[in-house]
Amino acid sequence: MNTVRISGATGFIGRHLTAYLASQGHIVHAANRRITGTFEHEHVWDASLPRSIAAVIEQVHPNIVIHLASRAKPGRDLRNLADQYDDTIKPALAVVQAVPESVELAVFFGSCEEYGDGPSPAREEQPLRSVSAYGWAKISAFHGVTMIASQRKMPWCWARPYLVFGPAQSPDRMISEVICKCLRGEDVPLSPGQQTRDLVYVDDLCRMVARLIEEPARAAGQVINLCTGRPTKVADAAALIQRLVGRGSLKIGALPYRSREYMDFYGSPERFNSLFGEITRTSLESAMVATIDAYRAELASQPQ
Per-residue pLDDT at 177 = 97
The backbone torsions φ and ψ at residue 32, rounded to the nearest 5 degrees and listed phi first, read -135, 170
Q: Kindly state the average pLDDT of the residues 257-283.
A: 96
Contacts of 151 (CB under 8 A, 6+ apart): none
Question: Are the C-beta atoms of residues 290 and 167 closer than 8 Å to each other?
Answer: yes
In tens, the pLDDT along 149-202 reads 999 999 999 999 999 999 999 988 999 999 999 999 999 999 999 999 999 999
Q: Kindly state the average pLDDT of the residues 126-135.
A: 94
Dihedral of alpha carbons 275, 204, 280, 113, sign: negative
Question: Are the C-beta atoms of residues 142 and 110 closer than 8 Å to each other?
Answer: yes
Question: Hey, is 56 helix, strand or coil?
Answer: helix
Per-residue pLDDT at 71 = 78
Taking all residues of the chain, what is their mean pLDDT, rounded to a whole number?
Answer: 94
Per-residue pLDDT at 74 = 66
Question: Are the C-beta atoms of residues 110 and 89 closer than 8 Å to each other?
Answer: no
Q: Where are the domains of the chain?
A: 3-301
Per-residue pLDDT at 304 = 65
Closest CA to 209 of 42, 61, 20: 20
Question: Are the C-beta atoms of residues 267 and 227 closer than 8 Å to each other?
Answer: yes
In tens, the pLDDT along 63-120 reads 999 999 887 776 667 777 888 999 999 999 999 999 999 999 999 999 999 999 999 9
Question: Are the C-beta atoms of residues 71 and 14 closer than 8 Å to each other?
Answer: no
Q: Kindly state the average pLDDT of the residues 270-284.
A: 97
Query: What is the share, in percent, of the chain residues with pLDDT greater than 90?
Result: 79
What's the rounded Cα separation, in Å, for the pair 254 and 248? 15
- Residue 283 pLDDT > 70: yes
For the chain, how are helix, strand and coil distributed in percent, rounded to 5?
Answer: 45, 20, 40
- Residue 303 pLDDT > 80: no
What's the rounded Cα separation, in Å, for the pair 238 and 198? 14
Domain 3-301 = CATH 3.40.50.150 = no
In tens, the pLDDT along 24-46 reads 999 999 887 777 878 888 887 77
Can you list the alpha helix ranges (DSSP code H) found in the chain?
Answer: 12-23, 50-60, 81-84, 90-98, 133-152, 174-183, 202-214, 216-219, 234-245, 270-276, 284-301
